[in-house]
Amino acid sequence: MNITSLAALKRIPVGTRLRLIDSLIGPCDKPRTVKQVRSADIIMLTPEGTDSYLTLKGVRLSPTENGFRLFEKWNGGLCAEYRFED
């Protein structure tokens, strides 16, 4: 899947499997499954069965080879990086 904009990200299908590989707290390796897409955020399900929220307000998207990165608009800091699972 090729995500090149926030609009494209908002069209991501429910059930899409992603892996969080970097975040505000540092590098990680956490699987996520898209549960619901809303105008301001995406709700993802963790393997433990809890919801994880990806806020889309105040961010800009940068595509990567296998996913995307989200950066804060006001300071350019990395919010999160995801890659698509096969």
pLDDT score, position 1 = 83
- Where do the DSSP E strands lie in the chain? 17-23, 26-37, 41-45, 51-55, 59-63, 67-72, 78-84
pLDDT tens digits for range 13-37 = 999 999 999 998 899 999 999 999 9
pLDDT score, position 3 = 94
pTM: 0.92
Q: Which residues pair with 71 in a beta bridge?
A: 60, 78
pLDDT score, position 65 = 94
Q: Kindly list the structural domains of the chain, giving each domain's residue range(s) and its CATH number in brackets, ordered by start.
A: 6-84 (2.30.29)
Residues of the chain with pLDDT under 70: none
The set of residues, in sequence order, having a beta carbon less than 8 Å from that of 5 and lying 6+ positions away, is 61
Sign, Cα dihedral of 41, 14, 79, 61: negative
